[in-house]
Amino acid sequence: MRLLSVIFSLSLIAAFGGCGKSGESDLQDAVSDTVTISVPADFGKTADELFATIPAAAAGNEEGNLLLSAYSGPYGGVPHFDAMDLAGLKPALEAGMARNLAEVDAIANNPEPPDFGNTIIAYERAGENLRRVYAYWGIWSSNMSTPEFRSIQQEMAPKLAEFRSKITQNDALFQRIKNVYESDAYAALPPPEQRLVWLVYDSFASDGATLQGEAKMRYAEINQRLAELYTRFGNNVLADEEGYVTYLSGKQLDGLPESYVAAAKAAAGERGHPGEYAITNTRSSMDPFLTFSDERELREKVWRTYYSRGDNGDEHDNNAIIAEIVKLRDERVGLLGYDNYAAWRLQNRMAKTPERALALMEAVWPAAVGRVREEVADMQKIADAEGADISIEPWDYRYYMEKVRKARYALDSDEVKKYLQLDKLREAMFFVAGEIFDFSFEPVTEGAVSVWHPDVRVWEVTDKSSGEHVGLWYLDPFARPGKRSGAWATSYRNHETYKGKQTPLVSNNSNFVRGDEGKPVLVSWSDATTLFHEFGHALHGLSSQVAYPTLNSGVRDYTEFQSQLLERWLMTDEVINNYLLHYDSGERMPPGLVQKIKDTATFNQGFETTEYLASALVDLRYHMVDPEGLAPDAFEKATLADLGTPKEVVMRHRSPHFGHIFSSEGYSAGYYGYMWADVLTADAAEAFKEAPDGFYDKDLAKRLVENLFSVRNAVDPADAYRAFRGRDAGIDALMRDRGFPEH
């Protein structure tokens, strides 16, 4: 374990080419520079002058297309979500791409010598109207997908990939960026501007800009094909989520909580099955069913339906798509000289190399598997005592773990759920944001800001101390056909100041099942934790104080840290005593029940850690092997067997529906990042536990926001964390946090 701690600390130091200044106070000064840097006024003018030379015809047909037009209305302008017209999407994308390419050509062909203003800042300015189109594209893709949209998506995905390749492979543009990066003037720039230049340069250099001839052409071809495959993969999963719904009669509800039954009845009615009960093919529906249903055969059916998404041997089967994706990714990075996709992917992450990521996970794996064996033994004892005459299978795990929980801690998850009202949890998040971030949330008058669905509500976020407007927060909480499963945060506009202040527009999206009209929506403890987690992502966007668009980007194995840390406030006394109130009586959660929840903080960690690590380890191994002849189902089984995965636990995301890594490149070879970030989370949480006022310590909260939230990607993550904590993080806090033995 000591070796791993050293590896982790070294990788923090090595991230992004090493540290800058050393020492906490110096780093805090660097962070302060990020917030207060003054940007020369001619940066925006330079881009305006360049782009003013673009002929209207070269920019495409933009006139009259609402999806391309500037946001309008209050709060610095907001998207026209209520007037979204799918007929305008394809023309908007085509016009936006044409405009962006024309802007890029203007930068690349500028006769003036390249400098920070006419090259880097001009590049930051390019593509503004296309970015607006992407905001609408994201809503159609994630929140309100339709067969008509999916047809457009399938057609446009390879064209968008071709468009991006035209930019990254524009040699004249890359040479100008490279000249700025290698110039003497680069060293004289303030640290945030230096980081901006490096990020822009590296985004080109790592994505094929250095290639020539046939290699460059092949790289672009691969990107186009991958874009098509990613879209097909995601749409296949969505089709299986929509197409496989288990309907129950009133005689098949034994063991299910009243609130769940009501939600299942409503879901069936929405799908044209009145009088029945729908178990939808999403985690938020599957998980509680497997936890509470007494019907073992139905548990197995629901389990198999959920874990077989994308793996049914039909038109929506994803196995062949996975094989092609992995092979193309390997070929593409081979063109750049890398041994495998994972090595390319992690070079600029905090882990730096796949070997370091594997070292972290393989250090935790034995303890997690050992805990699973203990958990299964406990469950089997209960099953035997009941005369069930079964061996624990994956579809039994949640059900019997709930029985173990009740027997050992007298903790009933359904009893806990009665204190977890969705609206009250939202109020709790607002309270935490007020205490830690000094934010205030006020609902926007209905109709003042357009939304994409009647379920969506909007709040204005202001600074409590100054009253200054910070941004808007959108909430889309409920499941519905056409909305992808899970929970996520997204941004429709980021904070910027380099050409005038622009405030953020962010949203949280969930898939809670709406109950009967007028009844509160009750959620599980796990769902409440996820709600806080995703709100952490939203607060990360709302807290931004960076000047440039690129500095709002993230480092994948770091960006989960902020959101994972926010989960910890759910368990604070201030939240429990004031917001976790019984849905019927309004009474506080009893101290005895609170203590039971705290006593079970590390309960079921074998299952939760092993199912996650299985997915993360399979992800990395997919991207470190020779992909020739890869058969995903067989590879998955062989890898899990090689790891010694207990038969009672499956991957959290089986390969055929592992959208994190196969519906885009977002988490590809990077799903490990949740655990990497959790090392930071556990260490930072201990800092709050040690603070004079605990999780509401004002001084530590100020350091948290200034060093780890507001700077986004303007500061190397290793430096940022060290500025907050005064040292690097090690793995010991993580092991303590999960109740695993330390080494």
Q: What is the mean pLDDT of residues 216-244?
A: 95
- Listed residue (591, 645, 600) closest to 618, CA to CA: 645
Mean per-residue pLDDT of the chain: 91
Q: Determine the residue type at 30.
A: A
Tell whether the model's pLDDT for residue 7 goes beyond 80: no
- Listed residue (107, 155, 102) closest to 130, CA to CA: 102
- Beta-sheet pairing, 246-248 with 277-279: antiparallel
Q: What is the pLDDT of residue 294?
A: 98
Q: Binning pLDDT at 50, 70 and 90, where does residue 62 land?
A: low
Tell whether the model's pLDDT for residue 187 goes beyond 90: yes
Q: What is the pLDDT of residue 338?
A: 96
Q: What is the pLDDT of residue 284?
A: 86
Domain assignment of residue 552, yes or no = yes
Q: What is the pLDDT of residue 42?
A: 54
Given the structure tokens 């203990």, which residue do they identify? 374
Q: What is the pLDDT of residue 743?
A: 60
Tell me which of 553, 582, 599 is where a domain ends.
Answer: 599
Q: What is the pLDDT of residue 511?
A: 93
Tell whether the model's pLDDT for residue 64 goes beyond 80: no
Q: Determine the residue type at 520.
A: P
Q: Mind giving me the DSSP string for 222-264?
A: HHHHHHHHHHHHHHHHHHHHHH--EEE-GGG-TT--HHHHHHH
Q: What is the mean pLDDT of residues 203-218?
A: 94
Domain assignment of residue 180, yes or no = yes
Q: Are 136 and 91 in contact (CB under 8 A)?
A: no
Domain assignment of residue 615, yes or no = no
Higher pLDDT among residues 22 and 395, named by residue: 395
Q: What is the extent of the structural domain holding 95?
A: 43-189
* Opening angle at CA 547, ends 667 and 17, nearest 5: 50
DSSP 8-state class, residue 58: G
- Listed residue (246, 139, 196, 118) closest to 505, CA to CA: 139
Q: Quick one: what percent of the chain has pLDDT higher than 90?
A: 86
Tell me which of 189, 206, 233 is where a domain ends.
Answer: 189
Q: Binning pLDDT at 50, 70 and 90, where does residue 66 land?
A: confident
- Listed residue (594, 598, 599) closest to 582, CA to CA: 594
Q: What are phi and psi of 141, to 5 degrees?
A: -70, -40
Tell whether the model's pLDDT for residue 700 goes beyond 60: yes
Encode pLDDT of 422-450 as tens digits.
999 999 999 999 999 999 999 999 999 99
Q: Are 451 and 81 in contact (CB under 8 A)?
A: yes
Domain assignment of residue 252, yes or no = no
Encode pLDDT of 124-182 as tens digits.
999 999 999 999 999 999 999 999 999 999 999 999 999 999 999 999 999 999 999 99
DSSP 8-state class, residue 72: B
Encode pLDDT of 97-122 as tens digits.
999 999 999 999 999 999 999 999 99
Q: Which long-range contacts (CB under 8 A, 24 or more apart) does 442-446 make?
A: 444/472
Encode pLDDT of 135-147 as tens digits.
999 999 999 999 9
Tell whether the model's pLDDT for residue 22 goes beyond 50: no
Q: What is the mean pLDDT of residues 668-695?
A: 96
**Catalytic-residue membership of 534:** yes
Encode pLDDT of 67-101 as tens digits.
999 999 999 999 999 999 999 999 999 999 999 99
Give the span between the Cα atoms of 694 and 682, in whole angstroms: 14
Q: What is the pLDDT of residue 21?
A: 26
Domain assignment of residue 76, yes or no = yes
Encode pLDDT of 614-658 as tens digits.
999 999 999 999 999 999 999 999 999 999 999 999 999 999 999
Q: Binning pLDDT at 50, 70 and 90, where does residue 56 land?
A: low
- Listed residue (650, 705, 617, 251) closest to 433, CA to CA: 705
| Distances 559 to 47, 149, 362, 708 between C-alpha atoms, Å | 31, 30, 22, 10
Domain assignment of residue 154, yes or no = yes
Q: What is the pLDDT of residue 3?
A: 30
Encode pLDDT of 605-614 as tens digits.
999 999 999 9
Q: What is the pLDDT of residue 345?
A: 95
Q: What is the pLDDT of residue 46?
A: 75
| Distances 312 to 304, 306, 319, 629, 712 between C-alpha atoms, Å | 10, 11, 10, 20, 41
Residues in Cβ contact with 163 at an 8 Å cutoff, skipping those fewer than 6 apart: 97, 100, 101
Q: Which tokens hold the place of 705? A: 């926001």
Tell whether the model's pLDDT for residue 11 goes beyond 70: no
Domain total of the chain: 2
Strand partners, 459: 443, 473
Domain assignment of residue 339, yes or no = no
- Listed residue (630, 609, 585, 743) closest to 678, CA to CA: 609
Coil, helix or strand at residue 418: coil
Q: What is the pLDDT of residue 59?
A: 52
Tell whether the model's pLDDT for residue 415 goes beyond 60: yes
Tell whether the model's pLDDT for residue 352 goes beyond 60: yes
Residue 221, judged by CB atoms within 10 A of its CB (0-12, 13-18, 19+), counts as middle
Tell me which of 189, 223, 246 is where a domain ends.
Answer: 189
Q: Quick one: what percent of the chain has pLDDT higher than 70?
A: 92
Q: What is the pLDDT of residue 60?
A: 54
Domain assignment of residue 614, yes or no = no
- Listed residue (402, 61, 42, 78) closest to 257, CA to CA: 402
Give the span between the Cα atoms of 396 and 649, in whole angstroms: 10
Q: What is the pLDDT of residue 335?
A: 96
The one catalytic residue among 124, 276, 534, 560: 534
CATH number at residue 112: 1.10.1370.40
Q: What is the pLDDT of residue 562?
A: 94
Q: What is the mean pLDDT of residues 556-569?
A: 93
Q: What is the mean pLDDT of residues 356-377?
A: 96
Tell whether the model's pLDDT for residue 336 goes beyond 80: yes
